[in-house]
Amino acid sequence: MGRGSRRPAANWSAWRRPLAHVAIVVAFVISVLGYPLIKKSGTEPGRPEQGGQPINPYVAASHIAGARVAALVGDTRGAEAHINALAHDLARSERLPDVTRPIDHEAARAAVRPLPGVRSAIWLDAANFVVMVDGAQNRSMDMIDRVCVALEPLGDTLAVVVNLQDVGAKNPDAAMTLSRNCQLPEGQRAFLQANRQVDVVAPALRRTFKAQQ
């Protein structure tokens, strides 16, 4: 074959910029289409972050497209940021606390002390945070929400179970501890997080005893 019959090698740099532009357009379209659902699935004001939720496919697609765009234009840090964000969402969906963001116990106690209705707070173990409140009106899920929101700047609240106790309880039922993981529905716990019994008498045993009276 003669020298003049050789086909020129493909010039990747000539294709790189058009491909990057196409990827940017695709990422933009995905983001625009997914924005209403992304916005709708966000945490409501005054409510703590929520774990254990299914992955939003639009958010995941946006991160994947964003990572590809960043890789095409040579933005390594941008691609890594998208990949890390997607991994974070996957871990939260599986109820896996972020071990790199533990909450300092003393800082947590200081953070909840100014909340109206809070008397004091102690830690039973690495996960269980006991908050003593004054009055039955403060022994509520809304108070747990306020405690969790106060803790959010300190680290990952998916690793925290808030236990409320009314120091002025007038009867055994009011003296029962109200417990919930900051980011999960009542009764659920994070991955490998024990469901610790805080009260001396378990709630199920107390209900059985009352039913037999």
Which range of residues forms the domain containing residue 67? 11-93
For residue 168, give the amino acid letter. Answer: G
Last residue of a domain, one of 31, 65, 93: 93
Q: What is the CATH number of the domain that holds 145?
A: 3.30.300
Same domain, 165 and 143: yes
* Strand (E) or helix (H) holding 90: helix 76-93
**With 50 as the cut, is the pLDDT of residue 175 above it?**
yes
Confidence of residue 62 (pLDDT cuts 50, 70, 90): confident
Same domain, 129 and 84: no
Note the pLDDT of residue 114: 96
- Can you tell me the mean pLDDT for 137-161? 96
Q: Is the Cβ–Cβ distance between 155 and 101 less than 8 Å? A: yes
The predicted-structure confidence for 32-44, as pLDDT tens digits, reads as follows: 444 444 444 445 6
The predicted-structure confidence for 82-137, as pLDDT tens digits, reads as follows: 888 877 787 777 889 999 999 999 999 999 999 999 999 999 999 999 999 999 99
**With 70 as the cut, is the pLDDT of residue 202 above it?**
no
The answer to whether residue 207 sits within a structural domain is: no
The two tokens of residue 39 are 């916005």
The answer to whether residue 99 sits within a structural domain is: no
What's the CA gap between 135 and 137, in Å, rounded?
A: 5
What's the CA gap between 130 and 109, in Å, rounded?
A: 10
Name which residue leads in pLDDT, 108 or 74: 108
Note the pLDDT of residue 50: 84
What's the CA gap between 147 and 164, in Å, rounded?
A: 10
Place of tokens 């254990």: 52
The answer to whether residue 47 sits within a structural domain is: yes
| Torsion on CA atoms 109, 111, 115, 120, rounded to nearest 10 | 10
The answer to whether residue 3 sits within a structural domain is: no
To the nearest whole number, what is the mean pLDDT of the chain? 79
Note the pLDDT of residue 74: 85
Same domain, 28 and 81: yes
What is the pTM assigned to this prediction? 0.68
**With 70 as the cut, is the pLDDT of residue 157 above it?**
yes
Same domain, 71 and 147: no
**With 80 as the cut, is the pLDDT of residue 19 above it?**
no
Note the pLDDT of residue 124: 95
The answer to whether residue 209 sits within a structural domain is: no
Confidence of residue 20 (pLDDT cuts 50, 70, 90): low
**With 90 as the cut, is the pLDDT of residue 205 above it?**
no
Cβ atoms within 10 Å of 4's Cβ, excluding its own: 5
Cα angle at 93 between 86 and 81, to 5 degrees? 15
**Total of domains in the chain:** 2
* Strand (E) or helix (H) holding 211: helix 203-212
The answer to whether residue 213 sits within a structural domain is: no
Confidence of residue 203 (pLDDT cuts 50, 70, 90): low
